[in-house]
Amino acid sequence: MSNNIVNHLYHNRSDRELADLVLQGDREAFRVIMERTEKLVIHIISGMVPVREDREDLAQDVYLKAFRHLSGFRYEAKLSTWIARITYNACVNHLRKKRLPLVDPAISEAIDAPDDAGDPFALLSERQLAGILQQAVARLSPLLSTLITLYHQAGLGISDIAHITGLPDGTVKSYLYRARKQLQQHLLTIYQNKEAL
């Protein structure tokens, strides 16, 4: 089947229509679901799982679970949010098996950054800043990294993130605040080191 026909037949369909087609045995419809959600799944897995080989295995497991349990999807949330929840739970289970912490034990401590440190962005090019931010996000605990990624990169709202992670809205907001403070502290440290040169 040509891509134009596939695009016409599947890509304009709603989540419910695609799910119904999959449940009727249409595998092409599931491929479209995967295409629609793969960026979100990759964002979550990349933020939570440090080992690249494990990430690939987890992505396959996520879509296998989604395929097997699609009949249980109740349309209480968007299909992408449901798949993101499966992804998040798979990552949490993976971290538990590997005995890796989900949240840094020091998360409960407030991080105070100096207010008069100036603008850390002024000395950095856009490319340098993107690289530094990516490194800083990678240094966060898996949960904080995932929350930052879901909110700022995937563009999800607090309630969607709360649904995916199973955390209360207030906890998501609190953790996002703490993650931003950690990122700010990291950027200020880099800025101060550059200024000292």
Domain coordinates of the chain in residue numbers? 3-97, 105-196
Count of other CB atoms within 10 angstroms of residue 14:
10
Position 115 scores a pLDDT of 40
Position 21 scores a pLDDT of 93
Position 5 scores a pLDDT of 55
Topology classification of domain 3-97: Rna Polymerase Sigma Factor; Chain: A (1.10.1740)
Shortest CA distance to 58 belongs to which of 87, 33, 82?
87
Position 124 scores a pLDDT of 46
37 Cβ contact partners less than 8 Å away, ≥ 6 residues apart: 79, 80, 83, 84
> What's 105-196's CATH class?
mainly alpha
Cα–chain center distance at 11: 23
Position 60 scores a pLDDT of 94
The series of mean pLDDT values per 10 residues for the chain, 197 residues long, is: 60 89 93 93 88 90 95 88 94 88 55 40 53 78 90 89 94 94 83 63
Measure the CA–CA gap between 173 and 147, rounded to whole angstroms: 9
What value does the CA radius of gyration of the chain take, rounded to a whole number of Å?
Answer: 20
